[in-house]
Chain A
Amino acid sequence: MPALFPFSAIVGQDEMKLALLIAATDPSVGGVLVFGDRGTGKSTAVRALAGLLPPMQVVRGCRYHCDPKQKGACTHVPADAVQLVDEVAVQVVDLPLGATEDRVVGALDLERALTSGEKTFEPGLLARAHRGFLYIDEVNLLEDHLVDLLLDVAASGENVVEREGLSVRHPARFVLVGSGNPEEGELRPQLLDRFGLSVEVKTPTDLEKRIEVVRRRDAFERDTVAFLARFKKADEQIRADLKKARQRLADVRVPDSALERGARLCMALGTDGLRGELVLLRAARAFAALEGDKDVGDRHVMRVAAPALRHRLRRNPLDDAGSTVRVERAVRELFAAVEERRAV
Chain B
Amino acid sequence: MTTNDSHVLSVWSGAIRAAALFAVDPVGVGGISLRARAGPVRERWLAVLASLLPPTIPVKRVPVHVSDGRLLGGLDLAATLKAGRPVAERGLLAEADGGVIILHSAERLDSGTVARITSAMDQGKVSAARDGLAFEAVCHFGVVAMDEGVASDERPAAALVDRLAFQLELEGIRAADAVPPQGVIEKVIAARQQLAQVQANDEITTALCTAAYAMGIDSARASLLALRVACAAAALDGRGCVSEADAALAAQLVLAPRATLFPNDETQPETPPEPPPPDTEQDTADNDDQTQLNGDIPLSDMVLEAAKAAIPAGLLATLQLDRARRPSAKSSGGAGAKQKSLRHGRPLGVRRGELKSGARLNVIETLRAAAMWQPLRRREAALRLEGLSSGRRRVEVRKDDFRITRFKNQTETTTIFVVDASGSAALHRLAEAKGAVELLLADCYVRRDQVALIAFRGKAAELLLPPTRSLARAKRSLSGLPGGGGTPIAQGIDMALALAEAIRRKGHTPTVIVLTDGRANIARDGSPGRPKAEADSLAAARSLALAGVAGLVIDTSPLPAQQSERLAEAMGAVYLPLPYADAATVSRAVKATADGNRQSSLSSR
Contact = CB atoms under 8 A, between A and B. Distances in A.
A108 B220 contact: no
Contacts of A217: 220, 224
B364 A98 contact: no
A103 interface: yes
Given A184-B111, A185-B470, A218 B227 contact: yes
B129 interface: yes
B13 to A, nearest CB: 28
Interface residues of B, number: 82
B206 interface: yes
B115 interface: yes
Interface in B433-487: 438, 441-442, 445-446, 448, 469-476
B129 A38 contact: no
Contact of A99 (B115, B129, B138, B221): B129
State the main secondary structure of chain B at its contact with A: helix
Interface in B113-138: 115-116, 119, 122-125, 127-134, 136, 138
B598 interface: no
B265 interface: no
A78 interface: no
A165 B270 CA distance: 66
Interface string B392-435: 01010000000000000000000000000000000000000000
A210 B122 contact: no
A14 interface: no
B469 A100 contact: no
B127, B212, B220 pick with most chain A CB within 10 angstroms: B220
A316 B369 CA distance: 47
B218 interface: yes
Contact of A183 (B28, B206, B269, B329): B329
B351 to A, nearest CB: 13
A317 B441 CA distance: 9
Contact of B368 (A125, A145, A164, A214): A164
B472 A207 contact: no
A113 B124 contact: no
B15 to A, nearest CB: 25
Interface stretch (A39-47, A249-257, A296-304): A39-47
B21 to A, nearest CB: 17
A303 B518 CA distance: 53
Given A40-B220, A207-B209, A117 B72 contact: no
A205 B441 CA distance: 32
Given A110-B371, A164-B371, A189-B446, 18 more contacts: A1-B125, A39-B222, A103-B133, A110-B85, A110-B86, A110-B364, A111-B85, A113-B374, A114-B371, A138-B119, A211-B206, A215-B202, A218-B227, A316-B438, A317-B445, A318-B438, A318-B474, A319-B475
15 contacts: A38-B219, A103-B130, A107-B368, A114-B395, A115-B393, A137-B119, A165-B372, A182-B472, A184-B334, A186-B471, A188-B448, A207-B213, A213-B220, A214-B208, A215-B202
